[in-house]
Amino acid sequence: MPGYKKTSLDLANLPNWLTYLKDDLELSAVGLTVIRLPAGKGYTFMHQHKEQEEVYIVIDGKGIIHINGEDIPLSKGDFINVFPQSKRALKASEDIDLVYICAGAVKSEKYPDDKTKKTLINDGIPDFDNLPPWYVGNSKIAELNNRLKNDRKGKKK
């Protein structure tokens, strides 16, 4: 059994305006949806969540997100985290579709377990000795990884 699940989408021709990826990617810990709002169209109602925060990632087009009475412009490359209790709705600009990804997750009391880390869920286990095939034999990368490993050991003391 492979250690991943992959799918592909034609973002210009999504099968539905909401394309849920739960089943296609066998997701069990993150909500992930790709949305295409046609030019001039938008959500027909506001919504909020009990616990789930949502991150909207604009991959094409322009529009607005209306959050708690404020209109915030959106364009390609924008990321916006909307807190659970915030009421929100999105609308594409009048002349171009708005295509974005919505990623949702709920807070875990388990994480962050180390607030000094840059990541929220910091359960990564680096293997500094095991180089990816494109760096096998590269002494500079091996030295860099060795320094990273030693720095990490020093921080754990």
Could you state, in order of their start, the residue ranges of all structural domains in the chain? Answer: 11-105
Torsion of CA 123, 114, 107, 43, to 10 degrees: -90
- Could you tell me the fold of the domain covering 11-105? Jelly Rolls (2.60.120)
Both tokens assigned to 76: 């390609």
Pick the closest to residue 101 from 120, 77, 67, 83 (CA basis): 77
State how far the Cα of 53 lies from the Cα of 125, in Å rounded to an integer.
26
pLDDT by residue, tens only, the chain of 157 residues:
689 999 999 988 887 888 999 999 999 889 999 999 999 999 999 999 999 999 999 999 999 999 999 999 999 999 999 999 999 999 999 999 999 999 999 888 888 887 887 777 777 788 999 989 999 999 999 999 999 999 888 776 6
pTM for the model stands at 0.83
Report the alpha-carbon distance of residue 35 to residue 33 in Å, rounded.
Answer: 6
